[in-house]
Structure 1
Amino acid sequence: MLRYCEGDLSAFQELYGRHSRGLYRFLCWRSPRRDWVDEIAQDSWFSLHQARASYTPQATFRTFLYQIARNRLIDLLRQPQAAVEDELTAPVIDASAAPDAAMESRQQNSALHAAIHALPGEQKEALILQQFSGMSLEEIALLVAAPVETVKSRLRYAMKKLRGQYAQEEQA
C-alpha cells in the first residue's frame, strides 16, 4: 500500500490480486442483500484509492480494506429503505462427484450456510473473519473495535451454536 501511495500502479494491481477475492467473500457472507456485494466491493476499492494520499499504516492492509467495506455495509444497513433479503449464497458443489455424493454435499453446504447466517451478527462476523478471511484475533479486534477477549467470546459462542445445530440435525 505504501508503494501505491507513492504512485506505483503495479502495487495497486498486486493489492487487488491479493485481496479482492477475500473481500468479496467477506461481503457475500456479511451482506443481507446480494445486490449490495458488488456495489460495496467497488466502493471499497474506490474509497481506498481516494484515501491513498492520507494513508498511514496503523494495522494490516487487509484490516484497513475490510474496515472500509464494513463501514460501507453499515451505512447501507442504516438507510431506512434498506429492505433486507434473506438469501443465502449458493453452495459450491463438486460437479464430478457422484449424484448421491453431490446431493449430500449440497445439503451439508446449505445446512452450514443456514446455520452461519442464523448466528447473531457479531458472532457471525467474527467467525467469517477468522475462518473464511484468515484474520487473527488481533486483526478482528481492530476491525470491529472490540477487545481481543470479546472476539474470543464471540467465536466461542458461535462455535457452540454451530455444534449445537449439527447435534440437533444428527439426532433428527
Structure 2
Amino acid sequence: MLAQLSDETLMTLYCEGDLLAFKELYSRHSQGLYRFLAWRSPRREWVDEIAQDSWTGLHHARERYRVEAGFRTYLYQIARNRLIDLLRQQQVLLASELGHTANGEDIFERLADDSAEELPPDALLENKQQLAGLYAAVKALPGEQKEALVLQQFSGMSLEEIAQLTGVSVETTKSRLRYAMRKLRQMMAPAVAQEEQA
C-alpha cells in the first residue's frame, strides 16, 4: 500500500506520526542521498555524518514541512545545506573542495562488480578500465557541472528539480549539463579512439 504512494503523500503521513511512511521514504531515498553526498563531499568521513544529519534534519523539520517542492528536492537541500555548513566550519572554500569526491570510486566499482558474473575476465577488465576512466572524467568536471550531472545521472532528478535544488534557472541547469557532457566526451575521446584501434 505505502509503496504506491507518492513521496509527498508519505511525508505528509510521516508528519502525522506514521513511522512506516518514514521507513518507506528512507528505503526509497537513502542510497540516492548517499551517492549524492559521496560525489559532493571533499572528505570521505563526512558522508555518513551528513547523511545521518539529513535524515535527522528531516525528522526535526517535519512539523514545518509543506508540499511546495518535491520531497527528494527537499531532502537533498537539507543535505546540501549541511555540507555547506561543514565546509564553512572547516573554512574550506566550496568551489575548490567540491572538485574532490569521496566515494565515487565505490559507485563505479559496484557497477563493475554487479556485472562481473556475466562478463568473461578480459571483458570485465575492459569494463573496469572504462568505468575508472569515466570516474576520473566526472571527477575532473567543474563543481557546478559535476553537481548537475550527478543529480541527473546518478540521482535521477529532473531538470526542474536540479534547478530548484541548486537555485538556478532550468536554462542554466541545461547549460551546465550540456557543458559537462561536452567535456566528458572530450576527455573520453582518446580512450574511445584507442579501443577502436585495438
Which category of TM-score, normalised to the shorter sequence, fits these structures?
over 0.9
Q: 2 CA distance for matches of 1:147 and 1:39?
A: 30
Structure 1: runs of 5 or more not aligned: none
Deviation at 1:95, TM superposition (A): 3.0
Matched, 1:14 2:24: yes
Name the structure 1 match of 2:12.
2
Deviation at 1:74, TM superposition (A): 1.3
The answer to whether the 8 A contact 1:28-1:89 is kept is no
Structure 2: runs of 5 or more not aligned: 1-10
Matched, 1:33 2:33: no
Q: 2 CA distance for matches of 1:51 and 1:129?
A: 23
Deviation at 1:34, TM superposition (A): 1.6
TM-score, normalised to structure 2, is 0.81
TM-score, normalised to structure 1, is 0.92
Deviation at 1:115, TM superposition (A): 0.5
Deviation at 1:103, TM superposition (A): 1.1
Q: 2 CA distance for matches of 1:61 and 1:80?
A: 29
Q: Of the candidates 99, 120, 142, which is equivalent to residue 142 of structure 2?
A: 120
Q: 2 CA distance for matches of 1:11 and 1:69?
A: 20
Matched, 1:78 2:88: yes
The one-letter code matched in structure 2 to 1:20 is: S
RMSD: 1.8
Quote the sequence identity (%).
65
Go from structure 1 to structure 2 and tell me whether the alpha carbon gap of 1:28 and 1:86 turns closer, same or farther (over 3 Å shift): closer
Residues paired across the two proteins, number = 172
Q: 1 CA distance for matches of 2:174 and 2:91?
A: 34
